[in-house]
Amino acid sequence: SFDPEQPLVEYLRKEGLTGTKVSCGEGACGACTVMVSQFNLLAGRVEHRAINSCITPLYALDGKHVVTVEGIGNQQLPHPVQERIALLHGTQCGFCTPGFSMSLYTLLRNQTGGLPSEAEVEQCLSGNLCRCTGYRPILDAAKTLARDNAWNSGVGGGVGCGRADCCRLAENGACGQPSEDGNSSKCLTKAKFRKYDASQELIFPPSLLWSRTTLSLARQPTAASRTSRIYRPLTLADLHAVRASHPDSALVAGGTMPWRNEGKDTLVYLGDIDELKGVDLVGGAPPKLVVGSSVTFAQLLDRTRSMLAPGIEQIPYASHITALHDCLARIAGPQVRNAATIGGHVAGCPSASDLLPVLLALGASIVCRSMAGAHASPQRTLQLSEYVSGSMAEPNDMVTEIHIPLPSETPSGAAVYVQSLKQSMRKANDSAVVSCGMRVCVDLSTGKVSEATFAFSGVRQDCHVLAHETAQMALGKLWTDQNFIESGLLEQCAREIAAQLTPNTDRAKYRVALATSLLYRFWSSSCQALRLGSTPNGSGAEQLSYQPPQPVISQQTFAPVMEDTLIGKGEPHVSSLKHATGEAVYVDDMPPFAGEYHLGLVMSTRAHARILSIDATKCLAIEGVYPKLFTAKDIPGTNLWNIRKDQEILSSGEVHFHGQFIAAIIAKDRETARRAADLVAVEYEDLPAVFTVDDAIRQKSFFNDVLEVEGGDVDQAFEHSDHVFEGEARCGAQEHFYMEPHAIIVVPKGEDSEMDVYATTQSQKRCQEGVAEAMGVPMNRITCHVKRIGGGFGGKDSLSDPIASISAVAASHAKRPVRAVLTRTQDMRVTGQRHPYLGRWKLGVNKNGKVTAFKVDLYSNGGFSYDCSTMVMMVSLSSCEGCYYFPNAKFTGRVCKTNIQSSTAFRGFGACQAEFICESMMAEVAEKLGIPVVAFREMNLYKEGSLTPSRYPLHDWTLPQMFAQLQESAEYEARHKAVQEFNAKSMFRKRGIALLPTKHGITFGIRSFNEAAAMIHIYLDGTVLVHHHGVEMGQGLHTKMSMIAADALGIPLESVYVKGSSTDVLANPTPSGASFCTDLNGGAVLKACRALASRLKPYRECMPSSSFADIALAAYMDQIDLSERSFFKLDKIPENFADKRGFDFFYYTQGVAISEVELDTLTGSHTIRRVDILMDVGRSINKALDIGQIEGAFMQGVGWATSEEWMLDTQDGSVFTRRPALYRVPTAMDIPRDFRVAILEGVEYKHSAGVHSARAIGEPPLFLGASVFFALREAVKAATAQATGDGDIIHMDIPATCETLRMACKDNITHIADMIEAQGLLAGSTIQRI
C-alpha cells in the first residue's frame, strides 16, 4: 500500500531507488530531480519534463512514465550524461550529482533535431544547486553535449575536444594518450567517452501511450492521511460530476505548493484535463492569447519563445509577448516551471507572484465557472483585477482559461509599451524581492500619457499592489518630461509603495527604493522603445528585455604530468561514476533495518526561556508513535556535549536559543515522527535575550577568554607614524548548506551495550565519545562508521554528536534501530554558522605608504556555548595581518555570548573574517592616502623570511611572484583602464576590477590533532585495501589516498580501494578539517605503503616480470606480513597564546585573484564578468581535484561575500533565512562568465612539509571570493563619484547583497527612500542581519 499524497521522492526511496536525493524538501535545490514523460494528445507527441520529486505527489503521476537516475545507466554502462559529468570532474561530494544528471538527460530527450545549445544547457541546470564544485566543471562537462560546443564543432569538424592543446593539433598529445602509430584520427581525450545516440534511449511505454481511462484513486482515511479520496478527471464533464458530488473538494493542478487539508476530505487533480491545457492565438478585435488553466509555466514560455521571431518588433503586441516571456523565463527554476500551472498560480494569488503584475499590466481576463451544482454554470469572464481582489469572485469559481489581449493595432496616434521587470537576490531559481508589470499608452502627437498601469509584487505579503495613485498622477503628463519623472512621479511611487508595505517586512527600505528604480527603468526603456526622444545617457534602457547571462567560458592552466607518473595526474574522483549514477550510498540511503524507528525532535520556539511544562498527550496518542517522550532525565549518562561540555543534549530546564533540542519521540515512519513531535506542547517563561555583537558589547556578554597576539611596540609606532587612521569592518554569518542534511542511524547490537552508529560526521571520535558518555558506557562498546558524507565544510564536525546521543537513548529503550534525519529547515536552525565578526582597527602609515603599526580589536558572535569559537578566534588573531608585513602589531579578540545557536567551524575557520577586516582597512586607507590600492598592497607585502606578528618566519613565500605574474597574465592594467572608460560612458551600469591576495596557515590548533593512522592490506589477487582516519566529504581525499598508495606500491590505481572510516578499525581518528586531511592521512598511508613496498622489494627484484598478485602470493607463501598499520604525526606545539604569540603554522597556502564585475546601480544586480586565479598548491597530488577545490572554495567565498545573508527575527530569535528559498547560495548562473584558474608551476620549495610536497587546498581559496566584493566596491565608488561629484570613502560590509549595493549607490531614488524613512513612514523590522 502507498499514500497517493506522499511526495514521489519518498515513494522512490522506500522502493530502494535512493539515487534520487532529498536535500531541501521544497523544490528549491534540484537534488531530487527525475524525468516524467507523458503523451500530449494536443501536440501529438511524448513530452519529457524534469521535475522536483520532493514536491510532486504520487496522484499527479498516474498514467505517466517516471525515469530516475538508476534507469538511465550504471557504473558498468553509464549514460553519456553520467559519464561526462563523472569523468570530467563535475562531481565532488556527489549528493547533488544525480539531480544534475537527470536535468541534463531530460534536456537531451526533448531535442527533436540534434543537440541543444550551450545556453540551453546552462539554463536547464539553473534549478540545480551545488555547494562543492563552483559549477564550472559541471557546466563544461554538460556542454560537451551541446551542438555549439568545441567538442562537437571544433577541431576537424568536431573531431577534437576544443582545448588549445588538443592532441589533434600537437604531436605531444597533451590532452590525451598519444596513439601507438601516431596517426589517430580522433582526439584521444574525447575517444574515452561514449558518443550520445538518441536512438538508443528508453522508449515511452506503449501501455501508457493511449491509456485514457478515468481513474478514481480512493482510500480509507488513516491517521497519517490528510484526505480520504482523490479524483483524477480527464474531461471537464468528469470534473463536473466529481464536483457535483463533492462541492467542497480541493482543486490541485501543478502540485508545486503543498496542499493543506482545511477540513476537506476530497482532492481533485486537474493536471490531466486536456481541455485545460491549450495555448491558442485567437483572432478577434483584439486578438488574444488563450491559455488553459492547466498549462504549465514551461509550456507557455515555449509558446512565447516561438512567437518571438525575428521582426516581431514591428508587430504592435511585440512588447506584450516580450514582457510575458521575460517574466516566465525568470520564475523559479526549470523543474518548478515544468510543473506549476498558470491557473493554479492565478487562483492561488500568491503575494510574491512574478506573473500576476505582468498579467495585470497586459489587461488579462479570466474565464471561470462554478462546477459545484447539479449543472455546470455558464462561463463568466472577469478582469483579472476583479478576480484577484475578490470583488467579483464566487465561492466555487474555478479558473478555466486566462485571456491575454494582444492588440493588432494601437489607438490612432498612440503607442503602447509593456514591460516585466524583476529583481531577486540572485540571478536564477529565486523569488523576487520586487517584480513588476508596467504598461503605458502615450499619445504620439502630444507625448502625453493616456493610460498607465503599474503593478508590483513583493511589497505586501498577502497580495500584489496596483499603484493607482502613481498611475493617476502620470495621466495627461508629458512622458518625456524628465523633471516630472524624477521630482514627482518617482516620489509618489515610493510613498505609495511604502504605505502598502506589510508591517515587519524584511528589506523594507530596499523594496521601496527598488520598486521606484524599476519604475524609472521602465520609463527610460519605454521612451527608447517608443522613440519618444532622448533618454539619460546609459540609463539602463539598453536591455529592453531580459537577457540570460552569456554562457560560461573557462580555462584551467597547469603543466602536464609525465605519462608514467601517477602523482599530479588529474584522475577523476574514485566515486565519480557512483555519484553520477546514484549508486553512491549515503547514510539515509542505507536500507532500513528490521523494526527501525524514526526520530522526531522537539525544538525550542524561544530564544531564551525557562521550560515550565512539557505535554506530550496529543503526540503519544498518534498511531505508530512509541509510547514514550524522551527528555533529559532519560539520558543514563552525561547530558552534556561539545568541546567544553557546556551544552545540554536535551535541555533540562532552560533553553538558550530558538531551535534547541528539548525532547524527542520515535515513530514507525519519518512523517509520523515529525508530525508527532510538532504536537508536543511546551510552556515557557521568557527570559532576556542577546542576539548581536553590538548588543553583547553593550551588555558585556562575553565568554571568559581574552586572547592577544602582539609583536613590536604598537603604541610607540603610532606616535611616530605620519598618518594614523581608524575604522571598523563587519562580516556576517554564513550557512554551510551542505547538500546532505544531518543523518544518523543507531543500531543496538543486543549485548554488552554495543551500538553501531552510522553518521554524517567529520569527527568519528567525537561522535563515538559523545554517544558513549550519554549512554554511560565505555567507548569500546560504540563503533562509529562513515562511508562518505554529502558535504561538510565544518558544519558536520560536532552536531552529529547530540543527534546520535538522542538516537542512542531511544534505540536503547526501544531495543530497535533508530534513524534520525533532519529536515533542511531543522538543519539550518540548529547547526550553527560561520561566526559573524566586528573588527575595530587602527593603522599607522609613513609618508611613503609603508605601514608602521596595526592594531585591531576583534569581536565574534559565538552563540550561547563555546563550541570551537575560541579556536576560531585564535586562527583569526593569527591571520589578522593578511599578506602584509606590519612591524608593530597588536591583535585582541573576544567571543560574544548570545542567544543564537552556537557558531561553529566553517571552511576558512576565522581566517577569512580576519583577512577581510584587514583588506577592508587596506582599501579605505589607500583611498585616504590617494594611493592606488594595488600599489598600497604590493608595497606592504611580506618578503621571504619576514616575521609575522606572532614572531614566526615565512618560508617558501611565493605570493609576491604570483602578485606580479597574475597582473601580467590577466592584463590587469589594460582592463583597469577599460573599466574606467566604460564607467565614464555608462550612467547606471558600472564596472569594477579588484586584485586580492590571500595566505592561509595550515595546522590543527590542538597538538594531538596533528596526527593520523592508516591500515593497508594487500590481498593475494594483487588488490589493496586502505583504511585511514579521514572522512570523504567531496574533497577527493579517498582519491588522493588511493593515488598515494598506488604510486608507492607501483600498482594501477584501480587496484586500490578505500572502504571508509570506522573507529573499530582505526581508533581515535583525527577530525577531518583544517584542510589538513591529505597531509596527515597521506603521510600515514605513504608510510605504511613504503613499509610494505620495502618488504616486497626482494620479491620484485627476483620476479621482475611477474604481476603484483604473483609477488604478493610469493611473499605470503614465505609468511611475510601483507598488512601494515602506520602512525604519522607532526610533533609541534601549534600555538603559544600565553606568550601573546599566535599559531606557528606548518606552512601557508597562497594565492591571488583578479575579479571584474558589472553592477546595475538601479537594482544592485551584478554579473561577474571575469575571474583569474593563481594558486600555489605546491606539488599537487591531483591537479584536477585541486582546481576543483579552488573553484568550489572561491564560489563559496563569493556567496559569503555577496548573496548569502543569514538573518534572524529578533522578535523571537528564530532564524528567518532557514529555508533555501530565503537563503541564497550561488547558482550556476551566478558564476564568472569567464573563469580562469591556474596553478603556480616551476617553483623550488625548500621548506615544504606536505606529503609529496603538496599544499593544502580545501580552505585557502575561499577568501579570494571576496575579490568580487572589492570589485563591486570599486563599481559603487564609480557610481557614487558620478552622483555626488566627489570621491567619498566607500564603506561596505560583507555580505554585499543586491540590497547593500543598491542602497550604497546614492542617487535621487535613495534620497527619496531616506526621506521617507526619516519621516517615519517605514515601519521598523525585527528581521535583521546578524
Sequence-distant (6+) residues with CB within 8 A of 269 are 59, 60, 230, 231, 232, 233, 252, 253, 255
User: Residue 936: in which H helix or E strand, if any?
Assistant: helix 933-939
Query: 788, 803 in Cβ contact below 8 A?
Result: no
Locate all alpha helices (DSSP H) within 362-485, ordered by sequence. 384-389, 468-474, 482-484
Residue 405: its H or E element: strand 397-405
**Beta-strand (E) ranges in 949-1064?**
989-1002, 1011-1018, 1024-1028, 1056-1058, 1061-1062
CA angle (666, 669, 673) in 5-degree steps = 45
d(CA 342, CA 344): 6
In the set 915, 1259, 1274, 1299, the catalytic residue is 1259
**CB-based burial, 382-393: b 16+ in 10 Å, e otherwise:** bbbbebbeeeeb
User: What is the Cα–Cα distance from 710 to 1146, expressed in whole angstroms?
Assistant: 20
The residue length of the chain stands at 1330
Whose CA is closest to 1078, among 1257, 871, 1325? 1257
For residue 838, list its beta bridge partners: 730, 859
DSSP characters over 1117-1135: HTT---EEEEEEE-----E
CA dist 350 and 342 (Å) reads 12
B/e letters for 555-570, b = 16+ CB within 10 Å, e = fewer, are ebebeeeeeeebbbbb
Q: Phi/psi at 717 (nearest 5 deg)?
A: -65, -40
Residue whose entry in the numeric block shows the C-alpha cell 597574465: 969
Ranges assigned E (strand) in 865-943: 889-896
> Do 737 and 1220 contact (CB within 8 A), yes or no?
yes
Locate 133 and state its grid cell.
564544485
1259 is catalytic: yes
CB atoms within 10 A of CB 322: 23
Residue 131 is classified by DSSP as S
| Secondary structure of residue 537 in the 3-state scheme | coil
> In the beta sheet, which residues pair with residue 707?
893
CA atoms within 13 A on the CB side of 1087: 18
DSSP string, 45-78: EEEEEEEETTS-BGGGGTT-EEE-GGGT--SSS-
Q: Cα–Cα distance between 1292 and 920 in angstroms, integer?
A: 8
Phi/psi of residue 1033, nearest 5 degrees? -130, 20
10 Å CB burial of residue 1234 (0-12, 13-18, 19+) is: middle
> What span, in angstroms and rounded, lies between the C-alpha atoms of 544 and 542?
6
Residue 885 dihedral angles phi and psi, to the nearest 5°: -90, 110
- The one-letter code for the residue type at 596 is E
Phi/psi at 266 (5° precision): -135, 140
Q: Are 712 and 887 in contact (CB under 8 A)?
A: yes
CA distance 251 to 268: 5
Residues with a catalytic annotation lie at 1259
